[in-house]
Amino acid sequence: MPEAVTTMKAIIQRVTKASVTVGEEQVSSIGRGLCVLLGISVEDTHRDAEYIVRKILNLRLFEDENGRAWSKSVMDKEFEVLCVSQFTLQCILKGNKPDFHAAMPAELAEPFYNSILENMRSTHKPELIKDGKFGAYMQVNIQNDGPVTIELTSPTGPTDPKQLSKQEKQQQRKEKTRTKGPSESSREKGGQRSRQDPNASSGAEGDVSSERES
């Protein structure tokens, strides 16, 4: 099987309202803002998370007061964000059957996902960031306004000049993994990467993601 370059993926829907129900219980709801479905891959680090959070909160998906489209962000408008973990976005098709081995395993993804929520809360306003219920079977009711839907991936796409260097880093990590216990290496990966990358705090580049056919 060829080496896949995996990235964090977010499907961002501009909403009039959105809510999450588990069983009979509504666990959260928002009014105007963004509903984000977030898929974390096995390769993702805090750098990917920081990129995605910054983009979600700063993307200009709303009108300004004069009705000019694509002018204001969810932070500018003080609108809400409903963020729901969605491992199925890390799907690789085997023919018509989805395979989710590229998704970060739940026991690692849950604390990582919670750190992403914390990042959003501290960047925006804590009370404007809502959550689903990690790992639960949910009904997510999304009133997509427009519709306006944006797909974001962390910056390792096909047209991104950093792709090669990310692939190289993955290779390096892989080599490290071979000489260490798997739990230690996976724990270390985020910190290692952000230390060695001088661009970690620089701006942003969006890209297009791609998928594999069987």
157 binds a copy of itself (CB under 8 A): yes
- The Cβ-side half-sphere exposure at 59, using a 13 Å CA radius, reads 22
Residue among 168 and 184 whose Cβ is closer to a copy of itself: 168
Minimum CB distance to a copy of itself, residue 92 (Å): 6
Residues 89, 9: contact at Cβ < 8 Å? yes
What's the Rg (C-alpha) of the chain?
18
Of 206, 166, 172, 185, the closest CA to residue 9 belongs to 206
CB of 187 to a copy of itself, least distance (A): 26
Strand partners, 182: none
Pairing assessment for the beta strands 33-39 and 97-99 based on DSSP bridges: unpaired
* Prior bond of 111 cis (ω within 30°): no
Q: Residue 48 or residue 80: which is nearer to a copy of itself going by CB?
A: 48
Of the candidates 35, 112, 119, the residue with the CA atom closest to the CA atom of residue 79: 35
Cα torsion angle, 119, 123, 124, 127, sign: positive
Q: Which is nearer to a copy of itself, 149 or 196 (CB)?
A: 149
Stretch that binds a copy of itself, among 111-119, 173-181, 184-192, 199-207 (CB under 8 A): 199-207
Can residue 83 be called a binding residue for a copy of itself (CB under 8 A)? no
* Contact status: 24 vs a copy of itself (CB under 8 A): no
Binding residues among 115-154 for a copy of itself as defined by CB under 8 A: 132, 137-153
Residue 44: how many other CB atoms lie within 10 Å = 26
What track of x and - describes contact with a copy of itself for positions 28 through 47 (by CB under 8 A)? ---------x-x--------
Binding site for a copy of itself (CB under 8 A): 2-7, 9, 11, 13, 16, 37, 39, 51, 55, 58-61, 69-70, 73, 84, 86, 88-89, 91-93, 95-98, 132, 137-153, 155-161, 163, 203-206, 208-214
